Amino acid sequence: MTKLVVHNLNKRFGGLHVLKDVNFEIEGPELIGLIGPNGAGKTTLTNILDGAIKPNSGTVYLNDRRIDQLEPYEVARAGLGRTFQVTRSFRRMTVHENLLVPALALDHGLDRTEINDKAMEVLEFLTLDHLRNEYAQSLSGGQQKLLELGRLLMLDADIIILDEPFAGVHPTLMKIIYDYIGRVNDAGTAIILISHQMDSIFSLCKRLLVLDYGNLIADGTPDTVKNDPAVIEAYLGVDDDETDVTTGDQAAP
Ligand SMILES: Nc1ncnc2c1ncn2[C@@H]1O[C@H](COP(=O)(O)OP(=O)(O)OP(=O)(O)O)[C@@H](O)[C@H]1O
Ligand SMILES: [Mg+2]
């Protein structure tokens, strides 16, 4: 069973202390929301978990293997994948080729026909099959997001981190992303979902982690978290029972 253990993680950029003694564990195919105001440290945490940057101190273990000093391709092989807030496809490769690259690079033991069949399945599921021979750079912003999600499916990861998958996505594509999250999670993959869209977070996740200025200020069920005074204060700068953290609405005076 997937187990991620994050212990006392610290990250500094010069004088800026961006992650401060962050601790949490994930066990099994949980679907966890990672939320927090802009600049809270969510993407930095993701970059550390996938090996793109190294922490100043602290450790990350995935399935009992230490991964915080590994490179991203090694972390991907160990079973953790992520999407980027700003999408990063191979722009001058076709949509289809973009899906083949991660599977071929990771060498999961599938032959080329199997990888190709899997890519076709993924394209169909993401409704990108009619675009398979187009260059990735010709896709819309929302379609680029779908392509990244597809590349992640090709990895067969144990745990995936989705960094703002709904941002800038047309409402017609939202349902596909919702279905993706449900299907991948049902298949046994743990998911960390980063989003500022609270309605999506609250409808999908059973556990929330809240970062604020690099501090993990809450870790619990959506109900507990949304009533937590520290969370309300972090989001709105007020500690006020009259404020609904799920919408940001304040009750009329
Ligand atoms: N490479 C870097 N060098 C210096 N400062 C950085 C670097 N990366 C991030 N930061 C700073 O670290 C802090 C956390 O940024 P991060 O991108 O992790 O926040 P976030 O929670 O993902 O925000 P958002 O919701 O806007 O995406 C910010 O103050 C940011 O400016
Ligand atoms: Mg971010």
Predicted confidence band of residue 26 (pLDDT cuts 50, 70, 90): very high
Nearest ligand, measured from the Cα of 22: 1
Ligand 1 atom 7: residue of nearest CA? 13
Residue 150 CA, ligand 1 centroid: distance in Å: 26
Domains of the chain as residue ranges with CATH: 3-83+150-236 (3.40.50.300)
Over the stretch 198-226, which tens digit does the pLDDT of each residue have?
A: 999 999 999 999 999 999 999 999 999 99
Tokens of 84: 């980027």
How many angstroms separate the CA atoms of 183 and 238, rounded? 38
Per DSSP, helices labelled H in the chain are 42-49, 72-78, 95-106, 112-125, 141-155, 171-186, 198-204, 222-226, 229-236
pLDDT score, position 246: 54
User: What are the phi and psi torsion angles at 217 (to 5°)?
Assistant: -90, -15
CA–centroid distance, residue 135 to ligand 1 (Å): 30
Task: Give 115 Cα–ligand 2 centroid separation in angstroms.
Answer: 31
Nearest residue CA, atom 1 of ligand 1? 13
Confidence of residue 22 (pLDDT cuts 50, 70, 90): very high
Whole-number Å distance between alpha carbons of 13 and 56: 9
What is the pTM (predicted TM-score) of this model? Answer: 0.92
Ligand 1 atom nearest 53 alpha carbon: 1
